[in-house]
Structure 1
């Protein structure tokens, strides 16, 4: 009798050709909730923290940077609010041209202009979907008559 190349513990979960049966897993317990390395670090967290502080106080710049990053994380850039007159027509082309003009005039920063253009692009897609929904509803109503 030929012996299976797979462990006996998984033989019930495999087909004759060695593939996993539908719904069966080679790891029925699933992925462990916690990584063993993380568990080891957490068990020694206080001692590791104190060592990093001691190294920083002794002049180790890498340890100092790590400690300072935890005390005062780097600030994220945040744009100041802007005032931009937009055409009341609701025409996306006119609005896009106004944004580009403001960027070239220096009224708004180029990165802010890019964000506004992205927002206009999203708005165009939303409008398109809304119009398609309305047209579809109209067609359905006309077919019901």
Structure 2
């Protein structure tokens, strides 16, 4: 018994590997032509919808209140106050230890401490790359000198 041919791929303009043949599309109908009309209707009725939602919120509908507040009043973002603490910046491990000490003492909030420790880690990576680059330059110089 022979294997039946997959006519669905041929009908959609697909090749045997599943990709579309050149000039074929996965959406032969294209965009719906009434999209502009639909947007115009929604825009035309938006004032009425807004007034209905506002009236519902005034009447005590908590979902309507929530909808209005979510769209009008932006969510508050936490703002951290500046914190002063002793920072030993002689080297990166000393800097990290002083940050950890400030967190442990309660001088520095843990979220700010984490952000600072992440910055120290980023700085350590930058220093590491710079040191590796310098070592590579020195090695290249030694190899060229031996030639």
Q: Does 1:118 align with 2:110?
A: no
Residues 1:82 and 2:56 aligned together? no
Alignment of 1:45-124 (within 5 A): 45-89=46-90, 91-124=91-124
TM-score, normalisation: structure 1: 0.73
**Cα drift, residue 51 of structure 1:** 1.9
Q: Distance in 2 between matches of 1:144 and 1:92?
A: 34
Provide the aligned C-alpha RMSD in A: 3.2
Measure how far apart 1:121 and its partner are: 1.2
Q: Give the secondary structure class of the aligned counterpart of 1:96.
A: helix
SS of equivalent to 1:130: helix
SS at match of 2:8: coil
Mapped contact 2:20–2:26 kept (Cα < 8 A): no
Aligned length: 135
After TM superposition, the runs of 4+ consecutive aligned structure 1 residues lying more than 6 A away are 22-25
The aligned counterpart of 2:12 is 10
Asked if the contact 1:6–1:18 (Cα under 8 Å) also holds between the matched residues in 2, the reply is no
Output one character per residue of 1:95-122: Cα deviation in whole Å (capped at 9) or x when no partner.
1111111111111111211111111111
The verdict on how the C-alpha distance between 1:61 and 1:123 changes in structure 2, with shifts beyond 3 A counting, is same
TM superposition shift of 1:27: 2.3
* CA displacement at 1:24 relative to structure 2: 7.1
For 1:51 and 1:81, the matched residues in 2 are separated by 45
User: What is the CA-CA distance between 1:45 and the residue it aligns to?
Assistant: 3.1
CA contact (8 A) 1:99 1:113 kept: yes
On the 8 A contact 2:100/2:113 being kept in 1, the answer is: yes
Is 1:20 paired with 2:27? no
* TM-score after normalising by structure 2: 0.72
Q: Is the 8 A contact 1:99 1:116 kept in 2?
A: yes
Distance 1:128 1:73 in 2: 41
Report if aligned partners of 2:9, 2:18 keep a CA contact under 8 Å in 1. no
